[in-house]
């Protein structure tokens, strides 16, 4: 979890070393092991080093290569070193850092080099021979990459705070982002600051004095399909890829930890590692797990599922209470590292989790994030069967599903009928009260100013309406991947505590394989995520393997935030309402808050969280213009 910075004066002006040094120092918390800057002419690069892999310990960045003149700074872990070694003629030794493979790949394939890389990366390469700057971000956006681009200047960094003291960059409020935030639309490009952007995952950019070229170097092929001879072949192929997606993320010079929530995804990762240890495929001596549990009772369901895993040999469990603090505790400190409002209330608990991981001298944590999207989840398949008049198969799937989930078959049929109504018409969410983005929380004139309805249609309703088959729906959720915003938010929390999170389910190879599967390997006999469940037979405890749902965390957040912080919320929404009056429908939010005080809880409570922290952020932030 290192940090990168870069400044390029497109006018040819010489770089001021103190500016790139100041930018890099601002991100020193991301890399306490080493730091460096490199400046020459109009270009400056910076780096803060966090040692993670064996190869990183002796690495110095930015790296200037005398033979070619190329200079690189990177926050990267390359997982296909062995493959690249053969393609590039580079020996795969511990004294060869990952950035050397990136440099050789760039030298050989130029702007196409990210197409050959597997892993998590954000890097910048300066080529003085033609005064070209090349930047790239990994396929799923695990590594952060923010940038500012004008006719005169290009700046990039791992965190937003690196931009705050650059004289040429005026910090101005991005009001459209406020609208997106309050509508719960997670785009993957904009930030709360005008003209400062997040580089879209699977994209690269070439910057010269007078040109800039953004390029999407990878996208999931919507027509990708795989056809094998039997279910056993699908299982064997899945296991091979899943094992490799985990194994390549175990490369570390330091202790490794594992997220363990009791759900299918994190438990599968932990149990697969245990399986690999048992068959002596890896040399890991112990498995450090970190889990949230209720402090009030260890007889809750999640704790019981977690114990099914931690009772195995070689597993060392660590438990962190998730219901003992209000969500505004440490909020200012967390916001100092986030630099902008964040969606997930979960981040406050993550702060305490990272403290615990850091105390255990763990620098790497494998997490189950992305499993729902990649393996596939949900009952959209029922809709597809109904649309294609496959009534017998539909009724069999409904019968199995209702038995598994102990739900009412008639209600499931009603849900299917409701799902067939055009989304723009129903606009109230699904019949199970799933939240959908909307404009009702926005102040009316503000909604008109940013054209909120058009944004809502372009970024949400139109893509949803195009997902009219189960395969298209799977493609939609992988590409939309709502966890992407969560990745960027959590990255700042992990970085503060010198921890690198790694995500096996976001392995490009696993994504492509799972997407290409026939539908009956994704949903079968009423079970969603079928391939993972059946493949983990004999590896994962059956109670977790065939667990239909994981417990919702909403009640915890409701207690932590809305109950424990009730007085502060009331003060912010009522007494400090002038701060948010230009953006928020005060009557609407005050009504929601009053209902909560009366004990009426519903999905609209998330609006209170969003409005509360937006108000606090607007009080804290220092901008160069009036908001």
Report the alpha-carbon distance of residue 131 to residue 12 in Å, rounded. Answer: 10
Helix (H) or strand (E) holding 303: helix 301-310
To the question of whether residue 98 is assigned a binding role by annotation, the answer is yes
- Per DSSP, the three-state class of 343 is coil
Helix (H) or strand (E) holding 39: strand 34-40
**424 phi and psi angles, rounded to 5 deg:** -65, -25
Q: Take residue 581 and report the two structure tokens written for it.
A: 């009056």
- Per DSSP, the three-state class of 270 is helix
Sign (positive/negative) of CA torsion 573, 577, 579, 580? positive
Q: CA torsion, points 222, 228, 232, 238, in degrees to nearest 10?
A: -40
Report the alpha-carbon distance of residue 459 to residue 343 in Å, rounded. Answer: 17
Exposed / middle / buried, residue 52 (Cβ in 10 Å: 0-12, 13-18, 19+): buried
Report the alpha-carbon distance of residue 135 to residue 124 in Å, rounded. Answer: 4
- Per DSSP, the three-state class of 289 is strand
Q: Which residues contact 325 (CB under 8 A, 6 or more apart)?
A: 348, 352, 560, 564
> Residue for token digits 């004289």?
167
Q: For the stretch 281-311, what's the b/e string if a residue is b when 16 or more beta carbons lie within 10 angstroms of its beta carbon?
A: eeebeebbbbbbbbeeeeeeebbebbebbbe
Decide: 68 and 107 in contact? Cβ < 8 Å: yes
Report the alpha-carbon distance of residue 360 to residue 363 in Å, rounded. Answer: 9
- Per DSSP, the three-state class of 426 is helix
Report the alpha-carbon distance of residue 343 to residue 213 in Å, rounded. Answer: 31
Beta partners for residue 336, in sequence order: none
Report the alpha-carbon distance of residue 142 to residue 490 in Å, rounded. Answer: 10
Provide the annotated binding site for L-glutamine: 98
Provide the annotated binding site: 98
């Amino acid at each position: 979890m290192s940090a990168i910075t870069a400044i390029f004066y497109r006018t040819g002006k010489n770089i001021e070393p103190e500016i790139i040094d100041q930018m890099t120092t601002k991100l020193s918390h991301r890399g306490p092991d080493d730091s460096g800057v490199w400046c020459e002419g109009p270009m400056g690069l910076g780096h803060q080093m966090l040692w993670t892999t064996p190869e990183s310990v002796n690495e110095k960045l930015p790296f200037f290569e005398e033979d070619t003149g190329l200079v690189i700074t990177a926050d990267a872990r390359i997982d296909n070193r062995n493959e690249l070694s053969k393609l590039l003629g580079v020996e795969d030794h511990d004294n060869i850092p990952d950035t050397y493979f990136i440099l050789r790949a760039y030298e050989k394939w130029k702007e196409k080099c990210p197409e050959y890389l597997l892993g998590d990366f954000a890097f910048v390469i300066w080529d003085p021979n033609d005064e070209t700057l090349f930047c790239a971000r990994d396929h799923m956006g695990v590594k952060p990459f923010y940038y500012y681009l004008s006719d005169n200047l290009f700046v990039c960094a791992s965190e937003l705070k690196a931009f705050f003291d650059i004289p040429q960059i005026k910090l101005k409020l991005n009001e459209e982002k406020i609208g997106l935030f309050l509508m719960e639309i997670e785009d993957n490009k904009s930030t709360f600051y005008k003209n400062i952007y997040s580089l879209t995952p699977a994209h690269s950019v070439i910057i010269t004095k007078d040109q800039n070229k953004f390029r999407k170097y990878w996208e999931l092929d919507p027509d990708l399909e795989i056809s094998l001879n039997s279910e056993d072949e699908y299982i064997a192929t899945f296991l091979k890829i899943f094992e490799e997606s985990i194994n390549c993320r175990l490369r570390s010079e330091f202790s490794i930890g594992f997220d363990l929530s009791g759900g299918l995804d994190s438990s599968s990762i932990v149990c697969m590692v245990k399986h690999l240890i048992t068959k002596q495929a890896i040399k890991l001596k112990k498995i450090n797990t970190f889990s949230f549990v209720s402090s009030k009772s260890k007889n809750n369901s999640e704790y019981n599922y977690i114990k099914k895993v931690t009772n195995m040999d070689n597993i060392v469990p660590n438990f962190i209470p998730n219901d003992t603090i209000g969500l505004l505790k440490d909020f200012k400190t967390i916001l100092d590292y986030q630099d902008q409002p964040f969606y997930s209330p979960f981040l406050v608990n993550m702060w305490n989790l990272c403290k615990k991981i850091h105390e255990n001298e763990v620098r790497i944590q494998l997490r189950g994030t992305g499993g729902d999207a990649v393996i596939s989840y949900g009952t959209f398949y029922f809709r597809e069967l109904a649309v294609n008049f496959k009534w017998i198969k539909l009724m069999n799937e409904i019968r199995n599903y209702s038995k598994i989930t102990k739900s009412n078959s008639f209600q499931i049929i009603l849900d299917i009928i409701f799902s067939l109504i055009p989304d723009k018409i129903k606009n109230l969410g699904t019949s199970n009260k799933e939240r959908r983005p909307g404009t009702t929380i926005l102040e009316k004139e503000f909604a008109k100013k940013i054209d909120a309805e058009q944004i809502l249609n372009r970024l949400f309703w139109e893509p949803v309406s195009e997902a009219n088959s189960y395969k298209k729906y799977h493609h939609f959720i992988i590409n939309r991947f709502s966890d992407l915003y969560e990745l960027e938010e959590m990255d700042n929390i992990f970085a503060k505590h010198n921890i690198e999170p790694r995500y096996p389910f976001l392995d490009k190879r696993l994504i492509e394989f799972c997407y290409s599967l026939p539908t009956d390997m994704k949903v079968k006999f009423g079970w969603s995520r079928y391939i993972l469940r059946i493949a983990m037979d004999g590896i994962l405890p059956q109670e977790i393997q065939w667990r239909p749902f994981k417990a919702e965390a909403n009640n915890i957040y409701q207690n932590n935030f809305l109950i424990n912080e009730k007085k502060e919320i009331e003060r912010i929404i009522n007494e400090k309402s002038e701060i948010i009056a230009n953006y928020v429908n005060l009557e609407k939010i005050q009504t929601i808050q009053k209902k909560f005080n009366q004990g009426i809880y519903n999905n609209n409570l998330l609006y209170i969280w969003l409005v509360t922290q937006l108000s606090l952020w607007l009080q804290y932030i220092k901008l160069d213009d009036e908001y």
